[in-house]
A and B are shown apart, each in its own frame.
Chain A
Amino acid sequence: MSSIPQALVAASTKPLILSILASREESYGYEIMRLVKLFSGGHLAWSDGMLYPVLHRLEREGLIAARWGLSEAGRRRKYYRLQPQGAQVLQHEKQHWLQVHTTLTTLWNLEPRLT
């Protein structure tokens, strides 16, 4: 199977990040990336550099909060956590994506009947 087009990847970045942060107390860049790869079965592959600017933007928009902590190896690591506003935005995103999903599924289920 070919990889998912760039535009779709870009569009889904925000809900993906917010969803991952919603599923746990806090996380960091590398982990988020690994989880996305894991859950998408390897089909959603982000370029590593792209993630951080997006995280920073979400932080500026107040959807997520960040703190500096230490990794298990003792390195400085930046952890992100979902904010109430982010949860709200995620709620909207979810509806939008489900609507798209429903529409597409419906259309694809109709198709056999048309033929």
Chain B
Amino acid sequence: MEPGASFDLNAEVVRWRQRLVHHQALTAEEIDELEDHLWDEVEARLGAGATPGDAFLAATRRLGGDASLAAEFRKVEVRRRASRPRWQHHPLVPLMLTNYAKIALRTLRRHKGYAFISISGLAAGIACCLLILLFVQDELRYDRYHEKADRVYRLVKGNSANSPELWAPALTVAFPEVEHAVRLMEGFSRALVTYEEHRFQEPDGLYADAALFDVFSWPLLQGDPASALRDPFSVVLTEPMAAQFFGDADPIGQVLTIGGISNDAQQREYKVTGVMGAVPRTSHVRVDYLISFATVETLNDAGEWGTPLSWDNRMVKTYVLLPENGDPQRLEAQLPAFLRRHITDAQYDVTDARLQALTDIHLHSDLRSEFMPGGNITYVYLFSALAAFILVIACVNFMNLATARSQQRGREVGMRKVLGAQRMQLARQFLGESILQSLLALTMALLLLVGLHPAFETLTGKPLPFDLGTGVPVLLGFLGLALGVGALAGMYPALLLSAFKPAHVLKGDADQGTRGALIRQGLVVFQFVISIALMISTVVVYDQLDYLKNKDLGFQDEQIVVLPIGHSRQLREKAEVVKQELMQHPHVVSVSASHSIPSYWLNGFFYRPEGAAQSDRISLRDVSIDHAFIDTYRMAVLAGRSFSRDLAGDSTAFVLNESAVRAFGWTSADEAVGKQIEWLFPNVGFQGPVIGVIQDFHYGSLREVIPPIVFHISRFGSGFISARIRPDEARQTLASLEQLWHRFEPDYPFEYFFVDEQFAMLYAAEERLGRTFGYGASLAILIACLGLFGLAAFMAERRKKEIGVRKVLGASVFGVALLFSRDFLKLVGVAFIVSCPIAYIGMDIWLQNFAYRIEIRPREFLMAGLAALIIALLTVSYQSIRTALADPVKSLRYE
């Protein structure tokens, strides 16, 4: 038999080649080359007379088997790649770090879903927390930029931020420890400022004492701080305003015309003596330009100042600068005696003057006559708490998922322990993994922060500048936060996992679940407690807001257009004519001019009932109105009558509200009518009868109790014209109002507002709180649900076999889904029960801010609880339905 006949050489070479390919050690090209070699060898042997079978066998043997070939190739490779054996760690890289890194990344990759849920949850939590902190930080920063901020105090009296004009100069003389006492006075609100052809309306012009720049750190860019505000008719401009008028030219020495001043109607000329930097936004006062207080004193001396400077009429804000370690309390204690020396009126209360720290003004002060509405420390606390809650929820979520997932890594831990891993080493590994994830979350959070920042600025209604470049400490703080959170979140799984007994874990009989399960359930409950409490709070805040906006104010605030005429001399002087013209308009129902209007400020004055002793006087809120006011606002007259134009005596008569009747100690409205009372105000006050009593109405915010109010016919001129218009064709009416305005006042742009909108604006802070809580609650519930979803997925995985068995034994899909969901809903139920008292207490405290408030009703709790339950059910249902539908054959295949 020809031996070659049964041997297919080509087929054998192909098979040899396939073996090499299968071995995967060599590339196709390398195999090509070897195959060529094999053929050369085989052909040489065939040439020497060998049979194909022998030739092939000898040639392949010479080349070596696939394993030894691979080894030959690797020998060369390894020598090239590493100078040290691969089992030795690099001197600069900590022990096993590369392995840890590899495992960490592999874990992330293999469990993308979990990783996404835990990392994005934490990222959202951190981002939200940082945003809120940005707001809180901004609130806490007010007025702290002044170098001497801790030594500056504001002198306030009673519940007003204002003090009389003559106190400040006398203080510096009487008390050596008062280094400076400076006054700021609102003089120019949106006054018209003119320089050559430039005419602008400037929002805020203030009178200020010469020593101002020694007290406040408002840097003077041009001019001499010591003398800029010394001489009368000097003006210091802020940089933006200077640029507006003078561009690049030097403003110093130029003369501006400023007019439209409340107390001083004259237009006057002022010389520019300095340019200061823009006043930071984080100030309790807005300034566009400052005019020397010496101007007021000069005008006063010349008798040209409206109300003479006095010791008892509060018109200015007084700031005192105390020395280092100066004692404000000591100075405060001396104030009554000091005031008594100067104020002859024995009636005058000298005991309620006190010093208020400059840095307390924004958040800790709730006084009338502020430059602008301040913040509220309660809201700072509430927002901080919200930030903390959300961060805690996100951390808990992170921890919870980490522990749940770690259960699946028992075998890895067991293996590592068997191979000699120390407990500390394992703890470090898991801590490291957790920190890696939290750093990822931080990166994501920073991206989110940048993305959400504009929306958040809109939400808080203030610019919150942040730029990461300005502060290494800020960056380090953020980093520290992430590391801390990572460590905190990693701590629990790190300690829990490293305590595993390897023998148990590897044998597979360890009950890994029970210990962690209780804690995990506790954490889920905790998350939902916070989420549900936030939801309840949101509902309560919105209910209260709804109540504030819709409560019957005691008059009809809809359809009243108000024209603020206070800052226009033209309109003020021609108020009567304007009223007459308005009355002619077909869509105007009635028109009234008054000194103030509901939702605005109220003056306080002393009154004395007829026959009472000289000292027996009471303080009432006082509104100067005209005859049509009560009718225009549709206030209800309970007794007597309203003012009448036809009765001349009414110009010295009074109308009271119910609170005022009570304040006088009269028992009924009817009793009050006809009583004589006296308005105690030098030069202007008078005595007259009470001609009517009107029902109590809300003059301002519902935060405050309705004050006792007395109306009389105006003595002061008017600040506002109110017109009740017909609801139809409001737009045309407004257009003709605008024409009318421009006919009388060409210089100022047309302005108007609706009274009901003005009332709604009083609750801007509450509105913001409601919205922020709404967003916070949504985020909290979202994060909590992410956690719940992850946990449900984990439980579904763990209970796969149990459910398989149940299904085999006849459980229905619905039954299994119910069984599975029930456990989670139980947790939400427990959370609801715990959160109710917490939310109740918190909201009850908040509601104490309002004199008029809603009762907290079960409805709010049920709504929030039901919402949480439904959301949780939806979250879990995906997993429970999937689990219930799973084919038991698959889950039980390996049993």
Interface residues, chain A, with chain B CB atoms under 8 Å away? 28-30, 47-50, 52-54, 56-57, 60, 71, 73, 75-78
Contact status B63-A54, CB under 8 Å: no
Jot down 17 A-B pairs with beta carbons below 8 A, ordered by A: A29-B37, A30-B37, A30-B40, A47-B62, A48-B41, A48-B63, A49-B64, A52-B34, A53-B72, A54-B76, A57-B76, A71-B40, A73-B43, A76-B36, A77-B36, A78-B32, A78-B36
* B69-A56 in contact (CB<8A): no
Q: Point out the residue from A49, A77, A78 that lies within 8 Å of B63, measured CB to CB.
A: A49
Q: Which of A29, A54, A57 contacts B36 (CB 8 A)?
A: A29
Decide if B80 is an interface residue (CB 8 Å cutoff).
yes
Q: Complex: how many Å from CA A71 to CA B35?
A: 12
Given A47-B62, A47-B64, A57-B80, residue A52 in contact with residue B73 (CB < 8 A)? yes
Residues of chain B lying within 8 A (CB to CB) of residue A56:
30, 76
Task: Please name the residue on chain B nearest to A78 by beta carbon.
Answer: B33
Known: A48-B63, A49-B63, A75-B35. 8 other contacts (CB 8 A): A28-B36, A30-B37, A49-B72, A52-B30, A52-B33, A52-B37, A57-B80, A71-B40
Contact of B33 among A29, A47, A57, A60 (CB under 8 A): A29
Asked if B775 CB lies within 8 Å of chain A CBs, one says: no
Is B75 in contact with chain A by the CB < 8 A criterion?
Answer: yes
Could you say which interface size class chain B belongs to? 20 to 34
Which of A52, A57, A75 is close to B39, meaning CB atoms less than 8 Å apart? A75
| Cα of A75 to Cα of B35 in the assembled complex, Å | 9
In order of increasing CB-CB distance, the 8 nearest A-B pairs are: A30-B40, A53-B76, A49-B64, A48-B63, A49-B69, A49-B72, A53-B73, A78-B33
Give bound CA distance, A52 to B37, whole Å.
10
> How close is A53's CB to chain B, nearest CB, in angstroms?
4
Residues on A with beta carbons closer than 8 Å to the beta carbon of B68: 49
Inter-chain contacts of A60 with B (CB < 8 A): 80
Chain B residues lying within 8 Å of A49, measured Cβ to Cβ, are 34, 63-64, 68-69, 72
Q: Please, how many angstroms separate the alpha-carbon atoms of A76 and B191 in the complex?
A: 95
CA A63 to CA B41, docked complex, whole Å = 27
Compute how far the CA of A52 lies from the CA of B75 in the bound complex, rounded to whole angstroms: 12
Contacts of B39 in A (CB 8 A): 73, 75
In the bound assembly, the distance between CA atoms of A56 and B75 in angstroms comes to 12
Q: Which of A28, A49, A60, A73 has the most CB of B within 10 A?
A: A49
Contacting residues, chain A, for B76 (C-beta < 8 A): 53-54, 56-57
The chain B residue with its CB closest to the CB of A31 is: B40
With a CB–CB cut-off of 8 A, which chain B residues contact A52?
A: 30, 33-34, 37, 72-73
A59 to chain B, nearest CB (A): 11
A75 to chain B, nearest CB (A): 5
Q: How many angstroms from the CA of A73 to the CA of B46 in the assembled complex?
A: 15
Nearest residue (CB) in B for A47 is: B64
Cβ-Cβ contact count across A and B, 8 Å cutoff: 56
For B35, the chain A residues whose CB sits under 8 A away are: 75
Contact, CB under 8 Å: A71 / B36: yes
Q: Is the interface of A mostly helix, strand, loop or mixed?
A: helix
CB proximity of A55 to chain B, nearest CB, Å: 8
Chain B residues in 8 Å Cβ range of A48: 37, 41, 62-64
Instruction: Give per-residue flags for B35-54: 1 if the beta carbon is below 8 A from chain A beta carbons, else 0.
Output: 11101110100000000000
Which residues of B, 1-59, contact A by the 8 Å Cβ criterion?
A: 29-30, 32-37, 39-41, 43
Give the residue name and chain of the B residue nearest to A76 (CB). Answer: B32
Q: Collect the chain A residues with CB atoms within 8 Å of residue B63's CB.
A: 47-49
A54–B43 Cα distance when bound, in Å, is 24
What B residues does A30 contact at CB under 8 A? 36-37, 40-41
CA distance A56 to B77 in the complex (A): 10
Smallest beta-carbon distance A91→chain B, Å: 23
Q: Which residues of A contact B73 (CB under 8 A)?
A: 52-53
Q: Are A50 and B72 in contact (CB under 8 A)?
A: yes
Chain A residues contacting B40 (CB-CB under 8 Å) are 30, 71
Please indicate the chain A residues that have their CB under 8 angstroms from the CB of B72 in the complex: 47, 49-50, 52-53
> B75 — nearest CB in chain A belongs to which residue?
A53
Which among B33, B72, B76 has the greatest number of chain A C-beta atoms within 10 A? Answer: B33
The CA of A103 and the CA of B80, in the complex, are separated in Å by 32
Tell which of A28, A54, A56 has the most Cβ of chain B within 10 Å: A56
Shortest distance from the beta carbon of A50 to any chain B beta carbon, whole Å: 5
Q: Are B36 and A75 in contact, CB atoms less than 8 angstroms apart?
A: yes
Give every chain A residue within 8 A of B64 (Cβ-Cβ).
47-49
How many whole Å from A61's CB to the nearest CB in chain B? 9
State how many angstroms separate the Cβ of A71 from the closest Cβ of chain B: 7
> 1/0 contact trace for B457-472 toward A, CB 8 Å?
0000000000000000
Complex interface: chain A residues within 8 A of B29 (CB): 78
Which residue of chain A has its CB nearest to the CB of B73? Answer: A53
Q: Given the complex, which residues of B lie within 8 Å of A57, measured CB to CB?
A: 76, 80
Nearest-neighbour CB distance to chain B for A27, whole angstroms, equals 12
Chain B residues with CB below 8 A from A47, complex form:
62-64, 72
Complex CA gap A54/B77 in Å reads 10
Name A53's closest neighbour in chain B (CB-CB): B76
Most buried by A among B36, B73, B77: B36
How far, in whole Å, are A50 and B69 apart by their CA atoms in the complex?
Answer: 8
Alpha-carbon distance between A66 and B436 when the two chains are bound, in angstroms: 46
B35 to chain A, nearest CB (A): 8
- Residues on A with C-beta less than 8 A from B80 are 57, 60
CA separation between A52 and B29, bound complex, in Å? 11
Residues of B within 8 A of A73 (CB): 39, 43
Within the assembled complex, what's the spacing in Å between the Cα atoms of A29 and B32?
Answer: 12
- Smallest CB gap from A49: residue in B: B64
Complex Cα spacing A55 to B195, Å: 90
Q: B43 → chain A, closest Cβ, in Å?
A: 8
Residue interface mask B597-631, A partner, CB < 8 A = 1 = 00000000000000000000000000000000000
Q: How far is the CA of A53 from the CA of B78 in the complex (A)?
A: 11
Please, what's the 1-or-0 string for B331-359, where 1 marks a CB less than 8 Å from any CB in chain A? Answer: 00000000000000000000000000000
When distances are taken between beta carbons in the complex, the residues of chain B under 8 Å from A54 are 76
Instruction: Give bound CA distance, A57 to B76, whole Å.
Output: 7
Q: Which of B73-113 contact A (CB under 8 A)?
A: 73, 75-77, 80
- Docked pose: A71 CA to B41 CA in angstroms: 14
B30: which A residues are within 8 A, CB to CB? 52, 56
Query: What is the minimal beta-carbon distance from A25 to any residue of chain B, in angstroms?
Result: 19
Q: What residue in chain B is nearest A28 (Cβ atoms)? A: B36
Most chain A beta-carbon neighbours within 10 Å: one of B30, B37, B39, B41: B37
How far is A50 from B80 in the complex, measured between Cα atoms in Å? 16
A28 vs B32: C-alpha distance when bound (angstroms): 13
With both chains docked as a complex, state the minimum distance between the C-beta of A26 and any C-beta of chain B, in angstroms. 14
Report the bound CA distance from A49 to B68 in whole Å: 8
Instruction: State the CA gap A76–B34 with chains docked (Å).
Output: 11
Q: How far is the CB of A32 from chain B (nearest CB, A)?
A: 10
Please, which residues of chain B bring their CB within 8 A of the CB of A76? 32, 36
